[in-house]
Structure 1
Amino acid sequence: MAPETKTSTNWDDLTVRMVSSAAMTIVGATGVILGGVWFQMLAVFVTAVMVWELWMMIRPKEPTSGMLMAALVASIMSGEIANGSHWGLALFLIVPIIGVTRLKTERKTFFAFALGIQIAGWGLVHFRMEYGFVWLIWLMLVVIVTDIFGYFAGKAFGGPKFWPKISPKKTWSGTFAGWVGAAVVGFVFHTFTDAGFWIIIVSMVLSFAGQMGDIAESALKRRMGVKDSSTLIPGHGGLFDRFDALLGAALFMLLLAEVFNVPGVAF
């Protein structure tokens, strides 16, 4: 009877993961497709929850403070989206500064991650409003395909670890495969849209930025001594665990859009 119980438990866990993944995919895809206030509300909610998860990883015994910060993040981000001013981005400093004043340790950690999460969340809303549905789908597909190609190549080929002290499961083979997958996505969009050849190169660099977002969150969890950012998503951990690569990619594209005039990215 013991082996049957073990097998049943494994299948139960797989079912939970599949149901959670399906639910997240449906909600996320619906928000992206509808755009407007629907995607804005989704982005605000996810951003606020990730800041709460960040706080709870650092100060797990102060959930009330974490909830108040999440509420403040939601309020500030909603106001900034409605206002639409780049100068208003300075308001994203409020929660990181409050966190720094309340924390005795990990002040720089909280400041950097809380600020980055908010800017990335705002960036995704900005991308959806300014560049449209297809542009955001491209960004998300690059991140998703990078993860899929990297996972299967890492399992199939193994080899030297990419950064064993931070993320012992990631390999160089998986990393390179992720770049190849991103290039494929770029080529498809180059073929079927008005995007120029540069979209292929940008897709590969964007892939690396997403991988660095994943590495950064892995380093944070290792530093905090936790396996997942939270237990909100059955079988998956927290929202921060699911969106870390997307945050890295969004921050990179914001920087690229502000500093350079990248040809061939507008669809």
Structure 2
Amino acid sequence: MKQRIVTGVIAGAFFLALLFAGGIWFTLFIALISVITFHELMAMAKHEKVLVAEVLGAITVAILVLYDVLSPYLFGLSFTDLWLALTILLLLLSIFTHNQFHFAHCAFVSFSAFYIGLSFHYFSAARESGLGIILFILILIWTTDSGAYFVGRKFGKHKLAPVISPNKTVEGFLGGVTLAVLAACLFQAVADLAILHSPVKLVASALIVSVFGQLGDLAESGLKRHFGVKDSGKILPGHGGLLDRFDSLIFILPILHLLNVFNF
């Protein structure tokens, strides 16, 4: 527990310092986090033995996160173009490895690279759109986690997804959503963000972040259960890996982008 607290305080302080600073250093930091997260996902699936595939995926992840910075040097390549390029290179790799690295591996590396890369790209973009927006999202994720944990521990009786995550309950899920909505109202009362002046949008945004944040957590739990691992990595002593810490966020951000909730 002591190690968990120390790690949380140090890592949290460093993360928040860069978050508040913003700019290129924050973007580079997010790119580094994204590459490490991608490596954790590859290691979970035991694709670390195919070094070339992981390097290609990691480069793609970094380009996606740094896309706005690198765009003048990418010859007009879109996200779709990058996906096609990675897919072709991975399929070529399957040929040169005599199908030891086969189509299923290609699909997993490609999907992982774009799931991680695009999600962290939107993280950087959300920060660039304003500190208030990204703080709103993060605070709602944290309050959802806290509400789900304490309400579930105190009142939880009905299992939410017992096959994937036996400890999560429906009561905890609803508790997390309720606390997130309350936190959103309190945050808006203090921060007064123009984009959240509409009460309907404020509550709807809170519901989207809270509900899909918990679903993102379940998605990663299902992934870990499938691969038979407890944590995604060991980079954060007492906390596991970076994917464990960012699972909700990287699930939420593409959804917020698709729904155009905050225009990033």
TM-score (norm 2): 0.83
Deviation at 1:190, TM superposition (A): 3.2
> 1:61–1:79: structure 2 CA closer, same or farther, 3 Å change rule?
closer
RMSD: 2.5
**What does residue 206 of structure 1 align with?**
209
**Farther-moved stretch of structure 1 (90-99 vs 178-187):** 90-99
> 1:241–1:149: structure 2 CA closer, same or farther, 3 Å change rule?
same
> 1:80–1:200: structure 2 CA closer, same or farther, 3 Å change rule?
same
Task: For 2:183 and 2:13, locate their aligned partners in 1 and report how far apart those are by CA, in whole Å.
Answer: 21
The one-letter code matched in structure 2 to 1:191 is A
**What does residue 116 of structure 1 align with?**
115
1:30 is the counterpart of 2:17: yes
Deviation at 1:87, TM superposition (A): 5.9
1:236 is the counterpart of 2:213: no
CA contact (8 A) 1:53 1:240 kept: yes
CA contact (8 A) 1:121 1:247 kept: yes
Q: 1:177 aligns with which of 144, 151, 175?
A: 175
**What does residue 223 of structure 1 align with?**
226
Task: For 2:143 and 2:253, locate their aligned partners in 1 and report how far apart those are by CA, in whole Å.
Answer: 16
**What does residue 97 of structure 2 align with?**
none
The one-letter code matched in structure 2 to 1:46 is I
* CA-to-aligned-CA distance 1:63-108 (integer Å, 9 cap, x gap): 7457624641454135413045996323552556656753564654
**What does residue 135 of structure 1 align with?**
133
**Farther-moved stretch of structure 1 (120-129 vs 54-63):** 54-63
**Farther-moved stretch of structure 1 (64-73 vs 117-126):** 64-73
**Farther-moved stretch of structure 1 (80-89 vs 186-195):** 80-89
> 1:173–1:58: structure 2 CA closer, same or farther, 3 Å change rule?
same
Task: For 1:74 and 1:108, locate their aligned partners in 2 and report how far apart those are by CA, in whole Å.
Answer: 15
CA contact (8 A) 1:127 1:135 kept: yes
> 1:128–1:153: structure 2 CA closer, same or farther, 3 Å change rule?
same
CA contact (8 A) 2:65 2:120 kept: no
Instruction: Look up the SS of the partner of 2:78 in the other structure.
Output: helix
CA contact (8 A) 2:62 2:117 kept: no
1:88 is the counterpart of 2:75: no
> 1:98–1:145: structure 2 CA closer, same or farther, 3 Å change rule?
farther
Deviation at 1:169, TM superposition (A): 1.1
The one-letter code matched in structure 1 to 2:79 is L
Task: For 2:222 and 2:109, locate their aligned partners in 1 and report how far apart those are by CA, in whole Å.
Answer: 13
CA contact (8 A) 1:49 1:70 kept: no
Task: Point out where structure 2 has 5 or more consecutive residues left out of the alignment.
Answer: 95-100
Q: 1:161 aligns with which of 134, 159, 176?
A: 159
* CA-to-aligned-CA distance 1:127-151 (integer Å, 9 cap, x gap): 111x200111001111111001111
**What does residue 3 of structure 1 align with?**
none
Task: For 1:137 and 1:209, locate their aligned partners in 2 and report how far apart those are by CA, in whole Å.
Answer: 17
Task: For 1:97 and 1:151, locate their aligned partners in 2 and report how far apart those are by CA, in whole Å.
Answer: 44
> 1:166–1:132: structure 2 CA closer, same or farther, 3 Å change rule?
same
The one-letter code matched in structure 1 to 2:38 is V
> 1:136–1:244: structure 2 CA closer, same or farther, 3 Å change rule?
same
* CA-to-aligned-CA distance 1:164-207 (integer Å, 9 cap, x gap): 11111111111001101110122123323032212122111211
Task: Point out where structure 1 has 5 or more consecutive residues left out of the alignment.
Answer: 1-13
**What does residue 98 of structure 2 align with?**
none
Instruction: Look up the SS of the partner of 2:259 in the other structure.
Output: helix
1:45 is the counterpart of 2:45: no
**What does residue 8 of structure 1 align with?**
none
**What does residue 10 of structure 1 align with?**
none
CA contact (8 A) 2:36 2:242 kept: yes
TM-score (norm 1): 0.82
